[in-house]
């Protein structure tokens, strides 16, 4: 079910009304679980069983890690994490395995290629792993205080954590230590209306007005259509795609944050104006924060982080980024994308160690441009998962200098990208004193966004991150 569909609106209203009925306040969590399962089942009901199976593994494993015999904690936690990884490996990476190692005509090859990709599996698998590791390590909370000793209550809370609809299919990736402490009865009067409103309006604006329109202009990045476009078109389309992917995913995350707030739950920011980043490290602290912090906490640190010498630091960085790349999709282009970012991070770290980091604003500005260009060109690997098509795109950029540019394509992309640029600039100047009088008219900005959502929405498209 899409956040920008009418069935979702109806489900949301019904859930919201039932959720806050005083007589039913004991059933708030089950109400949200049922609503979330309906939300997930809407497209392909059969795949709910997989979600429930994944949740069951994490319920049982986390319960016995927390309350079982001490000597079994470690093996149960490892088995639980391994089962999560096996699930995602089977459903998400079997086609890649078949493509790479098997003949597509073979029975096994055909079987693996036809395995359906359950929507959101990358997200709920990582959430399950987060629960198991948090319970095993007890780094953030005391299991006996945080988790219910009743198996049925624990099952309810875990299923709720994994399936809560705002984050279920495209994140943000929740961590158990952030979410479990929040589970409890919520009151209507405690809703943070203003922050929920702002998140939802900005989120829908980014998604429905910007991303959904930009997608119809950047469509021509598809092979072989881009071959017939002029160099300047290709550059502008790539810029537009960079804006689109931000608007699409940041939009989704903001809607999720706003919806969760309506039910009394707080999700952390998932995007913090990433295109203003002055370094690759900063970019990854601003882009898809829930994934990068997950990878940092549950992969990079356990690998040793930067505590085991320089060479191991670079190796750990590369492993983390390549796996982070592959998390996005079952194609080698995603691994290459991760590797490129890993190399950029490693090079930046190496140069910083060797030559130091100049603190002049001119240097920061120039580096910011380099980071933006690098990130933007690397998105091409997202749009064109076939590596030879990426090469062909660059070849067309070099060859098509004499073709007539598409003026309307360029002006449209610029118009629909401008709000993303302004959104980032607004963050840079938000503390300036000369802006103080403007803050009184913030409502006008939200009014314009609502107006444009009503009058200028693009065709409803699935969120880009659904495929991950």
Q: Which is nearer to other proteins, 93 or 220 (CB)?
A: 220
List CB contacts of 432: < 8 A, sequence separation 6 or more.
none
**Shortest CB 252 distance to other proteins, Å:** 17
**Shortest CB 240 distance to other proteins, Å:** 12
Restricted to residues 18-77, the positions that interact with other proteins (CB under 8 A) are none
Q: Is 401 in the site for other proteins (CB under 8 A)?
A: yes
Please compute, for residue 320, the number of CA atoms within 13 A of its CA located in the half-sphere on the CB side: 27
**Shortest CB 241 distance to other proteins, Å:** 14
**Cα dihedral 23, 26, 30, 36 in deg (nearest 10):** 70
Give the Cα separation of 307 and 120 in Å (integer): 34
**Shortest CB 189 distance to other proteins, Å:** 16
Q: Which is nearer to other proteins, 215 or 349 (CB)?
A: 215
Give the Cα separation of 148 and 37 in Å (integer): 23
**Shortest CB 220 distance to other proteins, Å:** 9
Q: Which is nearer to other proteins, 231 or 268 (CB)?
A: 231
**What are the C-alpha distances in Å from 29 to residues 60, 184, 264, 291, 307?**
19, 8, 11, 26, 42
138 torsion bin: left (phi>0), alpha (psi -120 to 50), beta (else):
left
**Shortest CB 41 distance to other proteins, Å:** 17
List the one residue from 139, 189, 354, 402 that touches other proteins (CB under 8 A). 402
Give the SS3 label for residue 157: helix
Helices (H) and strands (E) in the chain, counts: 24, 0
Q: Which is nearer to other proteins, 305 or 405 (CB)?
A: 405
Restricted to residues 353-372, the positions that interact with other proteins (CB under 8 A) are none
Largest separation between any pair of C-alpha atoms in the chain: 73
Give the Cα separation of 128 and 108 in Å (integer): 29
Restricted to residues 147-206, the positions that interact with other proteins (CB under 8 A) are 193-194, 197, 201
Tell me how many degrees the CA angle 216-218-219 measures, rounded to the nearest 5.
65
Q: Which is nearer to other proteins, 227 or 297 (CB)?
A: 227
**Shortest CB 427 distance to other proteins, Å:** 20
Peptide bond connecting 355 to the previous residue in cis, omega within 30 degrees of 0? no
**Helix, strand, coil percentages, rounded to 5, for the chain:** 80, 0, 20
List the one residue from 42, 458, 466, 467 that touches other proteins (CB under 8 A). 458
Contact 295, 285 (CB under 8 A): no
**Shortest CB 408 distance to other proteins, Å:** 5
Number of amino acids touching other proteins (CB under 8 A) = 45
List the one residue from 117, 133, 209, 381 that touches other proteins (CB under 8 A). 209
Q: Which is nearer to other proteins, 357 or 404 (CB)?
A: 404
Q: Which is nearer to other proteins, 219 or 427 (CB)?
A: 219
Binding mask 403-442 toward other proteins (x if CB under 8 A, else -) reads xxx-xx-xxx-xxx-------------------------x
Concatenate the DSSP letters of all residues of 299-328 into one string: IIHHHTTTSS-HHHHHHHHHHHHHHHHHHH
Binding mask 218-237 toward other proteins (x if CB under 8 A, else -) reads -x----x--xx-xxx-----
**Shortest CB 374 distance to other proteins, Å:** 22
- Which residue shows structure tokens 């062909």? 392
Peptide bond connecting 172 to the previous residue in cis, omega within 30 degrees of 0? yes
**Shortest CB 5 distance to other proteins, Å:** 8
**Shortest CB 414 distance to other proteins, Å:** 7
Window of 15-23, 66-74, 119-127, 214-222 that interacts with other proteins by CB under 8 A: 214-222
Give the Cα separation of 118 and 91 in Å (integer): 7
Nearest Cα to 119, choosing from 187, 55, 45?
Answer: 45
Restricted to residues 437-456, the positions that interact with other proteins (CB under 8 A) are 442-444, 446-448, 450-452, 454-456
Q: Which is nearer to other proteins, 361 or 408 (CB)?
A: 408
Window of 358-366, 382-390, 423-431, 458-466 that interacts with other proteins by CB under 8 A: 458-466
State the CB neighbour count (10 A cutoff) for residue 173.
26
Contacts to other proteins by CB under 8 A: 6, 193-194, 197, 201, 209, 213, 216-217, 219, 224, 227-228, 230-232, 401-405, 407-408, 410-412, 414-416, 442-444, 446-448, 450-452, 454-456, 458-461
């Amino acid at each position: 079910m899409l956040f920008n569909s009418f069935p979702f609106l109806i489900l949301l209203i019904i859930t919201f009304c039932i959720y806050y009925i005083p007589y039913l306040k004991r059933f708030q969590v089950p109400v949200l679980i049922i609503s979330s399962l309906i939300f997930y089942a809407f497209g392909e009901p059969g795949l709910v069983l997989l979600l429930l199976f994944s949740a069951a593994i994490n319920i049982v494993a986390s319960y016995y890690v927390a309350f079982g015999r001490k000597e079994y904690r470690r093996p149960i936690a490892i088995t639980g994490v391994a089962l999560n990884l096996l699930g995602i490996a089977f459903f998400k990476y079997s086609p890649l395995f078949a493509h790479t190692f098997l003949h597509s005509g073979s029975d096994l090859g055909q079987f693996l290629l036809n395995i359906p990709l359950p929507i959101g599996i990358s997200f709920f698998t990582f959430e399950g792993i987060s629960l198991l590791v948090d319970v095993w390590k007890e780094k953030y909370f005391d299991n006996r205080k945080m988790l219910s000793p009743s198996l049925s209550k624990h099952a309810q809370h875990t299923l709720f954590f994994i399936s809560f609809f705002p984050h279920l299919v495209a994140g943000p990736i929740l961590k158990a230590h952030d979410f479990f402490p929040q589970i409890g009865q919520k009151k209507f009067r405690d809703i943070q209306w203003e922050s929920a409103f702002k998140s939802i309006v900005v989120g829908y604006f980014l998604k429905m007005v910007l991303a959904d329109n930009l997608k119809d202009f950047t469509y021509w990045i598809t092979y072989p259509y881009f071959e017939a476009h002029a160099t300047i078109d290709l550059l502008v389309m790539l810029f537009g795609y960079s804006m689109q992917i931000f608007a699409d995913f940041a939009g989704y995350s903001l809607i999720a944050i706003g919806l969760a707030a309506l039910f009394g739950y707080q999700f952390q920011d998932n995007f913090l104006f990433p295109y203003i980043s002055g370094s690759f490290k900063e970019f990854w602290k601003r882009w898809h924060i829930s994934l990068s912090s997950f990878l940092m906490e549950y992969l990079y640190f356990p690998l040793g982080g930067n505590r085991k010498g320089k060479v191991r630091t670079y190796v750990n960085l590369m492993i983390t980024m390549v796996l982070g790349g592959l998390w996005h999709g079952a194609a080698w282009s995603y691994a290459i994308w991760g590797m490129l970012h890993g190399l950029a991070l490693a090079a930046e770290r190496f140069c910083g160690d060797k030559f130091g980091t100049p603190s002049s604003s001119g240097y920061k500005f120039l580096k910011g441009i380099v980071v933006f260009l690098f990130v933007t060109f690397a998105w091409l690997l997202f749009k064109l998962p076939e590596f030879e098509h990426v090469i062909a795109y660059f070849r067309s950029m070099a060859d098509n200098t004499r073709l007539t540019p598409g003026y309307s394509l360029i002006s449209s992309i610029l118009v629909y990208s401008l709000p993303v640029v302004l959104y980032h600039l607004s963050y840079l100047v938000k503390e300036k004193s000369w802006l103080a009088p403007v803050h009184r008219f913030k409502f006008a900005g939200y009014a314009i966004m609502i107006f444009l959502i009503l009058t200028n929405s693009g065709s409803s498209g699935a969120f880009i991150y659904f495929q991950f």
